[in-house]
Amino acid sequence: MTIKDIAKACGVSVSTVSRVLNNRPDVSEPVRRKVLDMVEVNGYIPNDSARDLVRSRSDALGVVVRGSGNLFFSAVLKTVAREIDRAGYTMVLRYIGEDDDEVKTGASLEREKKLRGLLFLGGRFDYTPAELAPIGVPYVCCSYTNCFGSLAEEDYCSVSIDDQLTAYRAVERLVELGHRRIAMLAPSLDDRSISELRYKGACAALRDHGIEPDPELIEVTGGCFDMPDTYEGMCRILNRGADFTAVFAFSDTTAIAAMKALEEHGRRVPEDCSVIAIDGIAVSEYVNPTLTTMVQPTEEMGREGVRILLDSIEKGLRGCHVVLPTRLRPGGSVRPVSKKD
Amino acid sequence: MTIKDIAKACGVSVSTVSRVLNNRPDVSEPVRRKVLDMVEVNGYIPNDSARDLVRSRSDALGVVVRGSGNLFFSAVLKTVAREIDRAGYTMVLRYIGEDDDEVKTGASLEREKKLRGLLFLGGRFDYTPAELAPIGVPYVCCSYTNCFGSLAEEDYCSVSIDDQLTAYRAVERLVELGHRRIAMLAPSLDDRSISELRYKGACAALRDHGIEPDPELIEVTGGCFDMPDTYEGMCRILNRGADFTAVFAFSDTTAIAAMKALEEHGRRVPEDCSVIAIDGIAVSEYVNPTLTTMVQPTEEMGREGVRILLDSIEKGLRGCHVVLPTRLRPGGSVRPVSKKD
DNA sequence: ACGAAATCCGGAAACGTTTCCGGTAACGTT
DNA sequence: AACGTTACCGGAAACGTTTCCGGATTTCGT
């Protein structure tokens, strides 16, 4: 069942059928209807590869997900998938490891599959213009915006939260409640990643309230936001007998891991120690105690990411950067510092 | 940069280059090397659409994910993605809602994109041969095998756990520890889904130990395995003052939701009430108390699913059904029934 | 040394579209 | 009545591959 069969069945030419299918203007109403009918009854579906070949482009969008350990990205991915679908594009997905090069992956994917655009989810994305050059299609970085100056604003698009500000607010919240000795579990400190931004924000909040960050209270747990590593990190802080009344974890899942370590060391949350995090994944509303966390707008992030990508493709949008607001979701894991401390 | 350019640069014909690229035997070693070199230095990448067109097939595998609420599927999806990648295929992904028709989605996806195969993740998959007919390529159902007789074994492939047996074991474990009044939170009871299988298994375990399932202890929470609904269900059981010493939840996340309801009603886990579940997702090892659960082999499920699909495509494998073992992961949420009960 | 078989390679058709170009017919304008 | 415009449609090239077919060259057995 090809376009030729439809043409023959309608007694028109192949070009006419093609015109109808792509709703071009110059075809008469009766003919259009007839063709559409034939397509309908025969259940004809155009051959994508043939179209892609002649147009030398496809209708596929590439999504490269990195750091899949984080449940937050799974959530964003779902809305991304839905939006791509809704727009009539196809999604081709690739997960990469923490150490893989997302740009190289993206570029080769793009050339093989003739992708129309690329969406990077949860990557570090600290690349120079030269490294980005091989990518021949629009792309947007979801959940990360480059703040380190290696990229000009107009060179790429992004949708993210203000990681620094969000971390600032989280820590500020603890300080407001009287906490001054706050432990931190950071996947990394200075790799130009989201972690670094959050770390900076956290330190800024401390300093703005006259508290100097104490190295004894900081543990670097490895780049993956994963639970076992964070659990270990929390244990290290506890085992060296550090003095603290609160913990700031860089994600919900790592906060949950930290809480386990705390409880196992006899520190009840929140009675003996408060815990705050960033993410707002579903499960953190159900753990015990429920997690106090800075909620990222999952839905909007996926939707905006796709919207920007499509606008880049279809309307030539460039250098667009959307920063989404976060909000505090109070849970049971935070309380004012107790008198005795 | 097309195959023609490579041919010209090497002073050979287009067909020869094509032969080299598809490593056909009949090309001399020097020529082969020369072509390969040219491909390397020019960074030539063949045009997929052209190849797909002439072969009238692609290298894409479709993955249709349903019931994305369940974190377990997110985990499987990752290994599926990795395996597809490793085998040199491309993955096109579509999430569908709980009420959507996965077979229709799959079939249209297949025809548009000329997919080589389809993998259904977490679907209900209770279809008749007639409904399956539109699918023109091999497919495998991941995480579900049809036990209701509408499909012959040789009509499809699957990889799953023995849901009935796993639920049986979970409940049996509770019974062994003295529990006789066991509440159940079932997404659904009789829709030919995984839930029904687990429900049956649970009931069988009860009856085999001389316990008649008590409707007062059973709540149907809706098909989505989602946390708010399960939380509500647990509350309903609690609010009607039902008498029970343990809860069997059909998934880890729903168990976590149930635990929240229990705690909020002043029932401590596991002191006042044991909780057991099925899944074994990462986070359930970190919640408080850690969840006792029947672990599904995530890794194997993804790997086997893809392997079977590829064997179906490349070697004509048919009617293959792999049933993966589950194992009990003891946690802190279960303990023997206390004397006073 | 001769024919047959094997090896290697080029030509060309084919895959199913889109799109440019040109042609016909109807229509309105002067 | 002649001409320019417009609306509609068909023909054919082009997209970049794969693969069949057949020709040329080499190898081999006798």
Residue A340 is predicted with a pLDDT of 57
Confirm or reject contact between B299 and chain A (CB < 8 A). no
- Tell me the torsion sign for CA atoms B227, A302, B116, A135: negative
CA of A29: nearest nucleotide by C1' is D8
How many CB atoms within 10 Å of residue A124?
22
- Which of A271, A288, A291 should we substitute to test contact with B (largest number of B Cβ atoms within 10 Å)? A288
Confirm or reject contact between A53 and chain B (CB < 8 A). yes
Length of chain B: 341
Residue appearing with tokens 């496809």: A58
CA of B19: nearest nucleotide by C1' is D18
Confirm or reject contact between A71 and chain B (CB < 8 A). yes
Cβ B243 vs Cβ B34: under 8 Å? no
Cβ A171 vs Cβ A201: under 8 Å? yes
| Domain A58-162+297-326 is found in CATH 3.40.30.10 | no
Residue A284 is classified by DSSP as: G
Cβ A293 vs Cβ A250: under 8 Å? no
Residue A33 is predicted with a pLDDT of 94
Residue B339 is predicted with a pLDDT of 62
Mean pLDDT (whole number) for A322-327:
96
- Average pLDDT of chain A to the nearest whole number: 91
A237 pLDDT band, cuts 50/70/90, is: very high
d(Cα A98, Cα A70) in Å, to the nearest integer?
A: 11
The residues, ordered by sequence, that sit 6+ positions from A230 with a Cβ below 8 Å of its Cβ are: A185, A221, A249, A253, A254, A257, A258
β pairing state of A90-96 and A60-66 = parallel
Q: Is the pLDDT of residue A341 over 80?
A: no
- Taking the domains of chain A in order of start, what are their residue ranges? 3-46, 58-162+297-326, 163-296
Which of these, A305, A312, A314, lies nearest to A65 by C-alpha position?
Answer: A305
B194 pLDDT band, cuts 50/70/90, is: confident
| Domain B3-46 is found in CATH 1.10.260.40 | yes
Residue among B92, B259, B288 whose CB faces A90 most closely:
B92
d(Cα B102, Cα B124) in Å, to the nearest integer?
A: 9
Residues of B in contact with A227 (CB under 8 A): 282-283, 285-286
Distance B15 CA to D22 C1' (A): 14
Assess whether B71 (CB) lies less than 7 A from strand C: no
Assess whether A338 (CB) lies less than 7 A from strand C: no
Q: Which of A149-163, A207-221, B49-63, B79-93 has the lowest mean pLDDT?
A: A149-163
Q: Is the pLDDT of residue A15 over 80?
A: yes
Distance B13 CA to D24 C1' (A): 15
- Which of A80, A253, A286 should we substitute to test contact with B (largest number of B Cβ atoms within 10 Å)? A286
Given an 8 Å threshold on Cβ–Cβ distance, is A71 in contact with B68?
no
d(Cα B66, Cα B73) in Å, to the nearest integer?
A: 9
Asked if B3-46 and B163-296 have one fold, the answer is no
- Which residues, in sequence order, are bridge partners of residue B62? B92, B118
Q: Is the pLDDT of residue B6 over 90?
A: yes
CA of A7: nearest nucleotide by C1' is D10
Residue scoring higher pLDDT (B124 or A44): A44
Token digits of residue A167:
């971390």
Kindly report, residue by residue over A173-200, the tens digit of the pLDDT: 999 999 999 999 999 888 778 889 999 9
Assess whether A48 (CB) lies less than 7 A from strand C: no
Q: What is the CATH T-level fold of the domain A163-296, as seen in this structure?
A: Rossmann fold (3.40.50)
Confirm or reject contact between B216 and chain A (CB < 8 A). no
**Of the CATH numbers 3.90.700.10, 1.10.357.10, 3.40.50.2300, 3.40.950.10, which one belongs to the domain with range B57-161+297-325?**
3.40.50.2300
Strands ordered across the beta sheet of A292-295: A218-220, A182-186, A246-249, A274-279, A292-295, A327-329
The residues, ordered by sequence, that sit 6+ positions from B89 with a Cβ below 8 Å of its Cβ are: B59, B60, B61, B116, B310
Confirm or reject contact between A113 and chain B (CB < 8 A). yes
Residue B162 is predicted with a pLDDT of 94
